[in-house]
Structures are given as structure tokens and as C-alpha cells.
Amino acid sequence: MHIPEDNPLTEEGVFLGRKLFYEPLLSANNKISCASCHQHQNYFKDSNFALSTGVDGFRGERNAMTLFNVGYEKKFFWDGGANDLESQALGPITNPLEMHETMLNVVNKLQSNPEYPSLFKKAFGTDKISTKFILYALAQFERTLLSGNTRFDKWQRGEITLTSKEMNGFNIFLDEQKGTCAHCHTLGNTFTDFEFRDIGLDSIPLDLGRYRITLNPDDIGKFKTSTLRNIAMTAPYMHDGRFATLRECIEFYNTGFHYSKNLAPELKNIPKGRLSDDDIDDLIVFLNTLTDTSFIHNKNFSNPK
């Protein structure tokens, strides 16, 4: 995990960031917080909607992403529009479809709040609240959101054995003639390589994806490869939340992807229909071993109130 030299994790900074994460004063109507769309009990996702609703009642453009293990990521948002966690936090606060607030207003609201100046003093040595320290505190808290206590992790540590169906699903996951999942969802802390790909969701992408940031035509339709940790608990799936279940996702990769212009090389030469129903069943069983139930019960991540 990369931790900037000018924003090390401190107990006071993490607590402040946690409090700000649940603070509705960050939004224009003082009713929506980061946690409104990134819900702890739902693995920091909005599991109620494919697209979350902002302060003005409008739906966002993309599905709210999970936040666990976000400190390992290289770029942020589905299109990689932010290069670090500190700048990432600015996006939702100022986005008209999300919290629709200005940082000047946020600073003024927090400065006039009887509680926050002393919390900033403890965290950053000054009671003069600034955009910089708001974003730094949020980033500190988000870097503590670590998830890695799953059946799969325990198996890798030699603490348990996986069932035959779980092992078969794992082998399918690795098999280049079947799942071919590990090319993009690499094993490790994150189960992703963080690269951007067009996976053939649409022949002609409606959302231009990474192209919005790079303006490179080769990036049209490309989105960040998301983590598979806790994947069974973080529906709906894809950048637009189009798939409600894991089975729908896997069936899409098995038979449904489109041969779009920028289709990922990993998908170009694999045959459709390569997975049987039993294969899909076992793959889902394996993916369930990536669920960390202790994560949603960790009180260090909950609303400090």
C-alpha cells in the first residue's frame, strides 16, 4: 500500500476521516454523506440501486464502487479519473449528480461546527479547517478499510481445507480454457490488476469510460477491473450495475460478451459457451470463499456518531 509522506496514518487523522465519511454536512442539502452510497453493512457499496441518488434526486452515471482495500489501488473511479485517494475524495463532494457542494461551503460549515475545529487541531495541528485537510483525513480513513479474512485466505494460510466444489471452482477460475479469470483478477490482496479494459458489454459503448480521461480512442469503453474480494456480497455488478447476480455476470463472460472495437485481448480468442452449468455453479461456490464477513462487523469502520 502506498501512503504519501505528507499524509501518514495517525489515530487522530483516521478518526477525523471516519467522522467526515459519515458527515452529511459535506453535501449541499446536509442530508447525504459518503456513507449514504458506500454503506458499511453492504461492504461499502450501495446494494439498493444500480445507480445511487444524489442530493437533487438525480441518479448518478455509474455504480458506486466498493472501498475495501482501496489503499492498494493505483487510480480511482471506474475511469481512473483520480490519481490518489486524496484527490478522489473531491469528486463525489463536488459532483452535481452526487453531493453537489462546493469545498468553500464545506469548509465554512465544518469551521462553524462546535466539534470539528478541535478534531482538526488534534489531527493536523491547526484548528483552521481547509480543503486539503478534509481530503487528507478522508483518505487516511479509507486506507484503513482492509479486508482479507476469508475462507480463501485461511486456506492459503493452511488453516482450513476447501471443499471439493470450492477447489473445482478455483481450478476453473485459473484454467485458461475455462474461466480464464486470473488474467485480470490476479490472486493476492486485491484480486485485480487495476488495469482498464473493454470487456464487451456493448458493441458500441454508451459510456465512453477511460476515454473521458485520456481522450485516446483506444480507451473507449474501457473501465477499471474491479476486485473480486467480497464479490458475492457486492451486487449489482459492472460500471452501470446492469447485472443483479453473480450468475448473470459469469453467463455474460461465458456467452454474452460483444466483439467491440477495443475488446480486451484476453477475451478475443476464448470460445463462447466453454463453461457448463456445473462449472458455473462451482465457480460461484469458489467466489463465495472470497467473502470476509468480519469486515462488516468491524466497529472501527462504523459511524462514530
> In angstroms, rounded to a whole number, what is the distance separating the alpha carbons of residues 191 and 229?
6
Residues 6+ apart with CB under 8 A from 183: 176, 266
Q: Is the pLDDT assigned to residue 301 strictly greater than 80?
A: yes
Q: What does pLDDT average to over the chain?
A: 95
How sure is the predictor about 2, in pLDDT bands with cuts at 50, 70 and 90? confident
pTM over 0.85: yes
- Which is it for strands 196-197 and 223-224: parallel, antiparallel or unpaired? antiparallel
What are the structural domain ranges in the chain?
11-146, 151-288
Give the separation between CA 131 and CA 102, rounded to whole angstroms: 10
| CATH node for 151-288 | 1.10.760.10
In the CATH scheme, what architecture does the domain 11-146 have? Orthogonal Bundle (1.10)
Is residue 31 over pLDDT 90?
yes
Q: Which triple of cell numbers denotes residue 242? A: 446492469
**CB atoms inside a 10 Å sphere around CB 162:** 18
Which string of b and e fits 64-91 if b means at least 16 CB within 10 Å?
A: bbbbbbbbbbebbbbbbebebbbebbee
Mean pLDDT, range 188-217, rounded to an integer: 94
Per-residue pLDDT of 92-147, as tens digits, reads: 999 999 999 999 999 999 999 999 999 999 999 999 999 999 999 999 999 999 99
Question: Span 156-160, mean pLDDT?
Answer: 97
Q: What phi, psi does 237 have (nearest 5°)?
A: -115, 160
| Longest CA–CA separation in the chain, Å | 62
Domains 11-146 and 151-288 share a fold: yes
The Cα 165–Cα 94 span in angstroms is 46
Residue 88 pLDDT grade (very low, low, confident, very high; cuts 50, 70, 90): very high
In Å, what is the CA distance from 76 to each residue of 32, 37, 81, 89? 21, 16, 6, 10
